[in-house]
Amino acid sequence: MSISPEKPARLILHEVGPRDGLQMESQVVPLEKKEAWLRDLMDSGVDIIQVGSFVHPIKVPQMADTDELFRRLTKDKKSPAILSGLALNEKGLERGLACGVEMFCLGASASETHSMKNTGMDTEESTRRIIGAAKTALSAGKKVQVSVQSAFGCGFEGPISEERVLNMVRAYLEAGLRNISLADTAGHAHPAQVERLFRTVLRLDPAIECACHFHNTYGLGMANMFAAMRAGVTSFETSFAGLGGCPFTKVAAGNVATEDFVHVFQLEDLRKDVNLDKLITVARGVAGHFGRDMQGFVYKTGPIKARNAVKTQA
């Protein structure tokens, strides 16, 4: 039985490990090691790689080298992978424009509490400023994705009204922004909710390019990915080895592991162009660097087909 009743022509893989994965870690990764991981990801065949975020280095020390990473990775770049960066305000946008960001990820939270903790602004002000920044980025010739964070619930506030989420989506649409991600920042989403909300969003405008971002706080991340796919989502944000979590939510937890997601895709004859072995190597390098087991599975077990091949040879 297929994971999706209708296989879309193109499923987009957005690797967010270098940003969402590393931002929670207290141990800062050396610039050269981070660059090596990023270059392997660029060679793996994933479509978009989130290099980092433009936030204050005191608040998120792991992101202090984001500007330098973009400068290094965009110099004489040959990889077709799009390099994305997260900005939460106009200052972040300015930094990103100066160092070569190819796609800006700009988001506001549907949770007032999370919004204040994450940006120091309420939802209304954050949304307004994000829309302004998105328009500036588009006028500069950059790709833009806008998001609704805490779209499926909040660790501080609990359930989030779907109408509140839809109003933010409408505001993006009115501004001409159609690449829209719904992010499960707190990991509260469940499959029926995911499918319902994404179907409702897509009914607002069939031209929306929908993306999804699920945290695995309660072990539902992979199931939610498939629910989003059933609803028509074509862009998926994942993190190497399942690393990650928002430092400004109540219970931080990892993401769906990139190599796990690509593995199940390839079992379904999807995205066979992606080099799964290279993704597994990156995940193992990340786990080795931090000296602990990560949430991902395939980097530890190896892919199913590879294991079967070994048994056959034996």
Return the pLDDT at 48: 98
- Which residue among the candidates 99, 105, 154, 246 is catalytic per the annotation? 246
Q: Which domains does the chain have, with CATH numbers?
A: 12-313 (3.20.20.70)
Is this model's pTM higher than 0.95 or not? no
Is 105 an annotated catalytic residue?
no
Tens digits of residue pLDDT in 102-147: 999 999 999 888 878 877 788 899 899 999 999 999 999 999 999 9
Tens digits of residue pLDDT in 296-311: 999 999 999 755 544 4
CA gap 214, 241 in Å, rounded: 14
Q: How many CB atoms lie within 10 A of CB 34?
A: 21
pLDDT at 1 over 60: no
Return the pLDDT at 7: 53
